[in-house]
Amino acid sequence: MRKLLKPREREQMLGTAYAFPMGIWFTLFFTIPLGIIVLYSFLKRGLYGGVEWEFTLDAYKQMFNPSFGRVVIRTLWISVLATLGCILIAIPCGYAMAKSKYQTVLLFLIIIPFWTNSLIRIYAWISILSTEGFVNSLLIKLGLIDQGLKLIYNNGAVVLVLIYMYLPFAILPLFTTIDKFDFSLLDAARDLGASKLEAIIKVMFPNIKSGLSTAFIFTFIPIFGAYTVPLLVGGKDSTMIGNIIVDQVSKTRNWPLASAFSMVLTFISLVGVFWMLYNGKREQMQSKKTTQQSLEQNIKKHHLIRGEK
Amino acid sequence: MSVQIKKGEFFSLLGPSGCGKTTLLRIIAGFDYPDNGKVEFDGKDILPLAPDKRQSNTVFQTYALFPHLTVYENIAFPLRLKHVDKEEIDKKVKEYVHLVQLDDHITKKPSMLSGGQKQRVAIARALINEPRVLLLDEPLSALDAKLRQNLLVELDELHDKVGITFIYVTHDQSEALSVSDRIAVMNKGKVLQIGTPYEIYEAPATRFVAQFIGESNTFPCTVLSCEPYENEFMIKVDVPMLGGTVSVTDYDALEVGSKLDFTVRPEKVRITSTPPRSTNKELNTYKGIVDEPVYSGFQSKFYVRLDNEQKSIVKVFKQHTAFLDDGPEIDWRDTVYVSWTATDGYLVKDTDR
């Protein structure tokens, strides 16, 4: 006799079936390559690239080379600075957009740059910042300086262009949460004695926390793995982890080391994502707990009243 | 137009939605700025002051409780801003929590509270700063009818307890009539009448006030004669829609020939199935047919079509009491007599248009 499935079970089976093609895609092009990277990071480097099938921790040991350490630290501070820059600019932008009558137009304007290749946009910055570029020639014409300033090929330029590249990723999530924010709360805070700034810090920020953490993750992770920006607008001392990986793959041909650095990037990104997930979960748990508490309280009260009667 | 609100008064701004009452409240609170005009407090112009520098606090229509804070923290918020020390805050918050009877709920977040509880948090939070004026923006409009009644009584008691001025915005005339010391009736950005609930209801200044507060039968009329009558004046008016002359008393003498509106409230109109017997000489009686009876529990409403050329409709309320002289029950299509005395009708100026 064939066992009949309950509707719920059938739905679950169907759900699995629908997810199947996607599962294959991700396994083939995402999980397996990632597995290869993990595997390679524990193998011995081949003489002319590639690997030899011999387990070793050499790659991870090599990472503690002080010259790499400097790069890791630089990558960290450049990423933190650029991410903070993105978020600091994105908050007022998101606020203005949420309050604006022309939301769709502004949203559109933010999305437009995505239609242009990122390399082209970086080259545009090079022509703006270079010694004979737009900014310098303007300043010279205005008579403010005699000689072109050195605006490019340094860490400052890297941070600036990174902020430019990843700003939309911070604006979009912040805009959506600020748009849902109840602005009458700001009126209430002002009414209760808060200054404009106090109202924003004490009432708006806690209520757009999810947008802030999403913006942080969306900008920090790609910036942390940046490669083209430091390569094109950075100077000698602007190398970031992404550049090391490329060098190790293509020039030095130390694939295990490249894999090990990739592992570091992946690991730090994962920490970020888990932190975000954990934050969201904790908030949910908190509200669940209090709902349950109040429910129990109500039941207790109910019994008390009935008991008295 | 200028409005003066006295210290300790429960003052209501009453009007239909979109009449500007909330805007007026927001101007008093400092959220909006008027194009012209002045807001004075103790004789001082407060328009240049930001909301946080004014001695008023607001209870918002949507409560505007801070969702990330608990009930306790919401109420403590204004004190924390002033950096009051911890024990003092704790003492005061507990006092106000007790005042609004929320002692069991201080650790809850606003999302866990019922509408009425949220309302109370909003009130406690607005009062803890000890403002001199409490502004309430339709605070009960989001609650259901029964709860609204209870909270209204509580609000009235609270007003007696704290003794500060309440400025209460509402579109609900029964709310305004039952709790206010004085009411300002507004329409289209203008204040039409300021007075006690009794004055507003019994002596509306304009046609709009008469029609907005309670229900009324209103017909255009022309003054025919005006003679002194006891302390007042007995006025005969020609009301074409009622098909004749109506007698009505008024405190003021009126010029013969002036065009006004004659109004009588439905509950002041008597409905009987036989011609009314009364010793009152100035009784206005009309014969008609019940066009539509509307039963609504404690009373019935009758739309009576008069037996004249205009076939005008007169609304009548009849309480369901068991008086001996009630006569037989009145039903649809019955022939009835509607009557009212001269003192129950009144004349209003149609200045709204």
List, for residues B201-217, the tens digit of each pLDDT value.
Answer: 988 888 889 888 888 89
Average pLDDT of the residues in B176-180 = 91
Q: What is the residue whose two structure tokens read 């009364």?
A: B278
* B85 contacts: CB under 8 Å, gap ≥ 6: none
The H or E element spanning position B19 is none
Contact B68 A206 (CB under 8 A): yes
Indicate if the pLDDT at residue A293 is higher than 70.
Answer: no
Average pLDDT of the residues in B253-273 = 88
Determine the Cα–Cα distance for residues A28 and A302; give it in Å rounded to an integer: 58
Contact B52 A207 (CB under 8 A): no
Task: Name the residue ranges covered by the structural domains of chain B.
Answer: 10-210, 215-348
pLDDT of residue B67: 93
Determine the Cα–Cα distance for residues A125 and A13; give it in Å rounded to an integer: 52
The H or E element spanning position B204 is none
pLDDT of residue B346: 87
pLDDT of residue A202: 93
Between A185, A193, A291, which is nearest B66 by CB?
A: A185
| B308 SS3 class | coil
- Show the DSSP H helices in chain A as ranges: 7-26, 32-41, 58-62, 66-99, 103-111, 118-129, 134-141, 155-180, 184-191, 196-199, 205-207, 209-224, 228-233, 241-250, 255-308
pLDDT of residue A229: 93
Q: Indicate which of B112, B118, B125, B132 best probes the interface with A, i.e. most A CBs within 10 Å of its own CB.
A: B112
Contacts with A, B 19-48, CB within 8 Å: 29-31
A and B: number of Cβ contacts within 8 A? 75
> Which residues in A lie closer than 8 A to residue B107 (C-beta atoms)?
290, 293
What are the pLDDT digits (tens) for B12-56?
999 998 888 999 999 999 999 999 888 999 888 898 899 989 999
Indicate if the pLDDT at residue A298 is higher than 80.
Answer: no
Contact A188 B60 (CB under 8 A): yes
Report the residue count for chain A. Answer: 309
Indicate if the pLDDT at residue A64 is higher than 70.
Answer: yes
What are the pLDDT digits (tens) for B296-313?
888 889 999 988 878 888
Cβ atoms within 10 Å of B259's Cβ, excluding its own: 11
pLDDT of residue A31: 92
Q: Is B210 on the interface with A (CB under 8 A)?
A: no
Q: Is the dihedral of CA B288, B289, B295, B297 positive or negative?
A: positive
pLDDT: which is higher, A124 or A303: A124
Task: Give the gap in angstroms from C-alpha A174 to the nearest C-alpha of chain B.
Answer: 18
What CATH superfamily classification does B10-210 receive? P-loop containing nucleotide triphosphate hydrolases (3.40.50.300)
Indicate if the pLDDT at residue A283 is higher than 90.
Answer: no
Question: What are the tokens at B303?
Answer: 């739309």
- Residue A18 φ/ψ region, left for φ over 0, alpha for ψ in the -120 to 50 degree band, beta for the rest: alpha
Between A190, A195, A287, which is nearest B109 by CB?
A: A287
Q: Is A197 on the interface with B (CB under 8 A)?
A: no
Burial class, A126, CB count within 10 angstroms (exposed 0-12 / middle 13-18 / buried 19+): middle
> Which residues in B lie closer than 8 A to residue A185 (C-beta atoms)?
64, 66-67
Backbone angles phi, psi at B168, to 5 degrees: -115, 120
B268: which DSSP letter? G
pLDDT of residue A295: 58
| Residue A53 confidence class, pLDDT cut points 50, 70, 90 | confident
Indicate if the pLDDT at residue A55 is higher than 70.
Answer: yes
Of A290, A241, A248, whose CA–CA distance to A266 is shortest?
Answer: A241
Cβ atoms within 10 Å of A107's Cβ, excluding its own: 16
Determine the Cα–Cα distance for residues B325 and B56; give it in Å rounded to an integer: 55
Q: Indicate which of A184, A190, A192, A298 best probes the interface with B, i.e. most B CBs within 10 Å of its own CB.
A: A192
Indicate if the pLDDT at residue A256 is higher than 80.
Answer: yes
Q: Is the dihedral of CA B2, B185, B241, B286 positive or negative?
A: negative
| Residue B243 confidence class, pLDDT cut points 50, 70, 90 | confident
ipTM, two decimals: 0.79
Between B65, B78, B107, which is nearest A193 by CB?
A: B78
| Residue A308 confidence class, pLDDT cut points 50, 70, 90 | very low
What are the pLDDT digits (tens) for A67-120?
888 998 999 999 999 999 999 999 999 999 999 999 999 999 998 888 889 899
pLDDT of residue B353: 45
Indicate if the pLDDT at residue A126 is higher than 80.
Answer: yes
Determine the Cα–Cα distance for residues B271 and A9; give it in Å rounded to an integer: 68
pLDDT of residue A277: 80
Determine the Cα–Cα distance for residues A237 and A34; give it in Å rounded to an integer: 30
> Which residues in A lie closer than 8 A to residue B30 (C-beta atoms)?
190-191
Q: What is the residue whose two structure tokens read 């920020």?
A: A205
pLDDT of residue B323: 59
Contact A189 B77 (CB under 8 A): yes
Write A278-282 long-range contacts (CB < 8 A, 24+).
Answer: A279/A209, A279/A213, A280/A210
What are the pLDDT digits (tens) for A212-239?
988 998 999 999 999 999 999 988 888 8
B215-348 carries CATH number 2.40.50.100: yes
Determine the Cα–Cα distance for residues A49 and A191; give it in Å rounded to an integer: 68
CA–CA distances in Å: residue A122 to residues A109, A231, A292, B13 = 18, 10, 53, 60
Determine the Cα–Cα distance for residues A40 and A56; give it in Å rounded to an integer: 10
pLDDT of residue A232: 92
Average pLDDT of the residues in A119-145 = 89
Contact A192 B62 (CB under 8 A): no
B110: nearest CA partner in chain A: A287
pLDDT of residue A309: 37
Of A131, A119, A218, A112, whose CA–CA distance to A161 is shortest?
Answer: A119
| A81 SS3 class | helix
Contact B68 A192 (CB under 8 A): no
Q: Is the dihedral of CA B126, B127, B130, B134 positive or negative?
A: positive
What are the pLDDT digits (tens) for B135-173?
999 988 878 888 888 888 888 998 998 899 999 999 988
Determine the Cα–Cα distance for residues B267 and B318; give it in Å rounded to an integer: 7
Average pLDDT of the residues in B229-255 = 87
What are the pLDDT digits (tens) for B244-262?
888 898 888 888 888 888 9
Question: What are the tokens at B306?
Answer: 């008069």
Contact A294 B112 (CB under 8 A): yes
Contact A290 B112 (CB under 8 A): yes
Average pLDDT of chain B is 88
Indicate if the pLDDT at residue B1 is higher than 80.
Answer: no
Contact B81 A191 (CB under 8 A): no
Write B303-310 long-range contacts (CB < 8 A, 24+).
Answer: B304/B271, B304/B336, B304/B338, B306/B242, B306/B243, B306/B338, B308/B242, B308/B243, B308/B244, B309/B243, B310/B240, B310/B241, B310/B242, B310/B243
Domains observed in chain A: 57-279 (1.10.3720.10)
> CA angle, corner A251, sides to A245 and A253, nearest 5?
75
> Which residues in B lie closer than 8 A to residue A285 (C-beta atoms)?
none
Indicate if the pLDDT at residue A281 is higher than 60.
Answer: yes
Backbone angles phi, psi at B11, to 5 degrees: -110, 130
Contact B81 A190 (CB under 8 A): no
Contact A198 B108 (CB under 8 A): no
Are A235 and A153 a contacting pair, CB within 8 Å? yes
Indicate if the pLDDT at residue A267 is higher than 70.
Answer: yes
> Which residues in B lie closer than 8 A to residue A208 (C-beta atoms)?
none
pLDDT of residue A51: 83
Contact B52 A192 (CB under 8 A): yes
